[in-house]
């Protein structure tokens, strides 16, 4: 794992709570979700966030391959819902709430009227996927140990492989210019 210089995330408390989030930045990992789950297994609590510029083993629902080339933004973070009084029956809302937050964040860089949530875990622009969300959790019979939310955003990808050209797009393509990652991460958090 090659560690990057920490991302320059604004420390303005009005848009980013630095007392809660602990960000670890990488140039390439196999999976940001795995990084977070490993850290949780070693005793790390919620608020840990892993950010990578590339994933070599990114995956989505049902273990499907998630193309994670350089130019995207891949991040995962840990939450402990039981600690905050969130019950099992509310867990299905986690992905939906994340989708709404991502739509709001991404609309700062692209036309919000063309940005839609494709249930249960994608965001699309004009029918083309721009973002995927993967929610994984560890539970006991009556307790939620943690929820890991993974997000893959096609950020500064300029071209897609032939097999993805009709189904994928990026913020750069939609906005017509490159996107700085730090403000994007701050907008998501």
For residue range 130-159, list pLDDT tens digits in order: 999 999 888 888 888 888 999 999 999 999
**Model confidence at 11, in pLDDT bands (50, 70, 90)?**
very low
Q: What is the mean pLDDT of the chain?
A: 82
Across 70-74, 77-81, 127-131, least confident range: 77-81
Could you tell me which residues come within 8 angstroms of residue 127 by beta carbon, excluding any fewer than 6 positions away? Answer: none
Q: What is the mean pLDDT of residues 99-107?
A: 91
Q: What is the mean pLDDT of residues 15-27?
A: 71
The pLDDT value recorded for residue 9 is 37
Phi, psi of 78 (to 5 degrees): -110, 140
Entry field: residues in the chain:
189
Higher pLDDT, 4 or 114: 114
Beta carbons within 10 angstroms of residue 168's beta carbon: 18
For residue range 25-56, list pLDDT tens digits in order: 898 898 999 999 999 988 887 788 999 988 88
Higher pLDDT, 154 or 60: 154
The pLDDT value recorded for residue 142 is 80
Facing residues of 2 across strands? 28
The pLDDT value recorded for residue 86 is 73
Rounded Cα gap, residues 74 and 69, in angstroms:
10
Contact 51, 185 (CB under 8 A): yes
Is residue 10 predicted with pLDDT exceeding 70?
Answer: no
Higher pLDDT, 74 or 60: 74
Contact 16, 189 (CB under 8 A): yes
Contact 121, 150 (CB under 8 A): no
pTM (2 d.p.):
0.83
The pLDDT value recorded for residue 18 is 53
């Amino acid at each position: 794992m090659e560690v990057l210089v920490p991302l320059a995330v604004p420390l303005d408390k009005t848009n980013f709570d630095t007392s809660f989030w602990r960000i670890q930045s990488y140039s390439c990992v196999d999976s940001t979700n795995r990084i977070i789950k490993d850290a949780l297994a070693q005793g790390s609590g919620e608020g840990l966030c892993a950010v990578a510029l590339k994933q070599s083993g990114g995956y989505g629902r049902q273990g499907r391959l998630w193309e994670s080339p350089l130019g995207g933004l891949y991040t995962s973070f840990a939450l402990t819902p039981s600690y905050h009084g969130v019950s099992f029956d509310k867990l299905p809302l986690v992905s939906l709430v994340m989708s709404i937050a991502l739509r709001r964040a991404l609309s700062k860089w692209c036309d919000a009227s063309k940005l839609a949530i494709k249930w249960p875990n994608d965001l699309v622009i004009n029918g083309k996927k721009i973002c995927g969300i993967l929610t994984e959790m560890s539970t006991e019979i009556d307790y939620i140990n943690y929820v890991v939310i993974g997000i893959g955003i096609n950020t500064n990808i300029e071209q897609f492989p032939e097999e993805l050209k009709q189904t994928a797009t990026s913020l750069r393509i939609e906005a017509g210019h490159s996107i700085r990652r730090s403000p994007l991460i701050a907008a998501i958090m």
